[in-house]
Structure 1
Amino acid sequence: MLKSSDEAPKLPKATHKGILKIGDAEIPCAVLPDGKRVISEHGITQALGSRSGASKRLKKAAEGHGAPLPIFIAPSQLKPFISNELMNGPLLPIQYKDGRKTVQAYDATVLPLVCDVWLKAREAGALQTQQLIRAQQAEILMRGLAHVGIVALVDEATGFQAERERDALHRLLEAYLSEERLAWAKRFPDEFYKQIYRLKGWKWSSSKARTPYIGKITNSIVYELLPAGVLEELKTRNPTKPGAGYRQWKHHQFLSEDIGQPDLRDHLLQLIAIMKVSRTWDAFERNLNMAFPQRGTQFDLDL
């Protein structure tokens, strides 16, 4: 039986919900059935103080042309600093049900990216005087996120983390890892490596050749911080070649496309945000340890 053409698509219902507190800001957040962490558009708007009539008119005009433009990033002065990747990724709106209410939201990882847009616009001197207060608020939010990663904050606020921890390890691994090795694709953005080199005081080169320490650092701040048990299983599925001392494949090729790969992407975005607000490697380590207090032993790798 065919559905009626005017039948609205069924929206997902939040499985967990809460209030994300960063400084004085309080942003409603939720976890959806597919595990996606989302934060409300209204909450982001309030947190950034973006409530001007001009922003609302810009959003309405953009929607009239089929391009959703949230109020918190609507000012025209921000347009040069908004990438296509941001518009076609984290800035894609997500709707879900909270009881009978429909909530307009965005992927939780959008928050540090939007803050970064405001800060870049301020640095370039593109903002009007009355907009500087929003850039200041973006800086406060960014500093708050340096202490606790956005995904971890949402999990804590909604109570989702406790439920994840109760799940059996084999169920997590079944969802998080791919049954078959995926084809290689670039998963680690250049900005991730550039920030490591900056904090370490190393000279950056666009060459694909990396110092061997990069691999150890990547294990310490990326793979060791994935859900418990994932790294151990990755090592089993992607062992070191006998007598070679290296692995034939990249660990990320064994992460599932629907959960493992998106979680890796979210984690890298968190790390880059923490790096950007850190002036030195020691400061980054302190911020990282505050964001992920269960991360285990510290690392101290210098050339």
Structure 2
Amino acid sequence: MAKVKNPVGPSVFSGELTIGETEIKCFVVDFHDGQEPKRLLSGRAVTNAFGLTGRGQGMTRFIQNKRIGGQLSDSLVEAIENPTEFPITPSVTALGYEASILPDLCWAIVDAYEGFEVPANQQKLVAQAKILQRGFGTVGITALVDEATGFQYERASDALQQILNMFITDELLKWAKTFPDEFYRQLLRLRNLPFDEFTSKRPSYFGHLTNDIVWKRLAPGVLDELKRVTPRDSKGRRKHKYFQRLTENIGHPRLREHLTAVIALMKAADTYEQFEQMLNRSLPIYTPQMTLLQD
């Protein structure tokens, strides 16, 4: 792990991300502009990780591959075509690719050959994509890069609290229906339970499901903080709804965006297990490693 600190420009943290026998050069670049630091990967290291050698076309070869290119989203293509320039020493710059594209790229490669015989010259590529997928697990690429570069130890001690302050307010907002009926309609369908539009009663375990589907995935530490600021009554029930503690400018809009995405995944799933797989892929849980705060 290495660090280049520049009092005027960006601070750069570098390291090797190891997944199985594969090592990928990675960086965290803090531009000190008030924005979230960028997690970047070396393009050559990424192509090497997939077993692609030679200097040639670099990352764009994924776009130019007819089968894989057809699986790439517009945003993924844009990210590949527009790497970030950053300093690796005070006098030398390099180009890096957003680390978040690597899981999506793996999925695109695997999906491209799903149901097809993989050509001999592409077998290593597909095999490596599957190995990398397993390596990400539930932790997420951001946490892996932060650990590999040592950046997780450099975050300010109040980084998590700054995030929580954006999402959670001390003032109790007026109750308003926030979770649409469609959320429960789809959740009941996936749990093989009937939907009754004339009652708001749900199975007691739905609270645990909602914590998993929504609050654990909204932002780092949000669920724990909501539990802390929302006391229970004498019967052990929460006195207020969690969403009444969300800030109006960030917390509530982010919740609505999250619910919209969740409902779309629910509608696309035939079973709860299938929904869980898509949810974990698209909106992973913020694990302790992903809170971006270390004691």
Same fold (TM over 0.5): yes
Q: Percent of counterpart pairs with the same letter?
A: 31
- CA contact under 8 A between 1:28 and 1:40: conserved in structure 2? yes
- Out of 200, 214, 220, the residue aligned to residue 227 of structure 1 is 220
Instruction: Report the Cα distance in structure 1 between the residues aligned to 2:227 and 2:119, rounded to whole angstroms.
Output: 52
- CA contact under 8 A between 2:85 and 2:96: conserved in structure 1? yes
TM-score computed with the length of structure 2 as normaliser: 0.57
- CA contact under 8 A between 1:223 and 1:231: conserved in structure 2? yes
Equivalent positions of 1:59-74 (< 5 A) are: 70-74=60-64
Query: Can you give the 5+ residue segments of structure 1 that lack an aligned partner in the other structure?
Result: 1-10, 60-68, 182-193, 204-210, 269-277, 286-290, 296-303
Relative to structure 2, which stretch is displaced further, 214-223 or 26-35? 214-223
TM-score computed with the length of structure 1 as normaliser: 0.56
- Does 2:131 match 1:140? yes
- CA contact under 8 A between 1:238 and 1:249: conserved in structure 2? no
Pair 1:71–1:51, CA change in 2 (3 A): farther
1:125 corresponds in structure 2 to 116
- CA contact under 8 A between 2:230 and 2:239: conserved in structure 1? no
1:217 corresponds in structure 2 to 209
- Does 2:14 match 1:23? no
Q: How many residues align?
A: 228
- CA contact under 8 A between 1:31 and 1:37: conserved in structure 2? yes
2:268 corresponds in structure 1 to none
Instruction: Report the Cα distance in structure 2 between the residues aligned to 1:220 and 1:165, rounded to whole angstroms.
Output: 28
Pair 1:74–1:147, CA change in 2 (3 A): same
Residue 101 of structure 1 deviates from its aligned partner by: 2.7
Instruction: Report the Cα distance in structure 2 between the residues aligned to 1:41 and 1:12, rounded to whole angstroms.
Output: 23
- Does 2:140 match 1:149? yes
Query: Can you give the 5+ residue segments of structure 2 that lack an aligned partner in the other structure?
Result: 1-7, 31-35, 174-185, 193-201, 232-237, 263-272, 281-285, 291-295
Instruction: Report the Cα distance in structure 2 between the residues aligned to 1:219 and 1:72, rounded to whole angstroms.
Output: 38
- CA contact under 8 A between 1:238 and 1:248: conserved in structure 2? no
Pair 1:294–1:52, CA change in 2 (3 A): closer
- Give 1 or 2 for the bigger CA radius of gyration: 2
Pair 1:173–1:148, CA change in 2 (3 A): closer
- CA contact under 8 A between 2:39 and 2:98: conserved in structure 1? yes
1:75 corresponds in structure 2 to 65
Q: Which AA in structure 1 matches 2:101? A: V
Residue 112 of structure 1 deviates from its aligned partner by: 0.7
SS of structure 2 residue aligned to 1:17: strand
Pair 1:84–1:25, CA change in 2 (3 A): same
Q: Residue by residue, what CA displacement relative to the aligned partner does 1:171-195 show, whole Å, maximum 9, x if unpaired?
A: 4545x5499x9xxxxxxxxxxxx9x
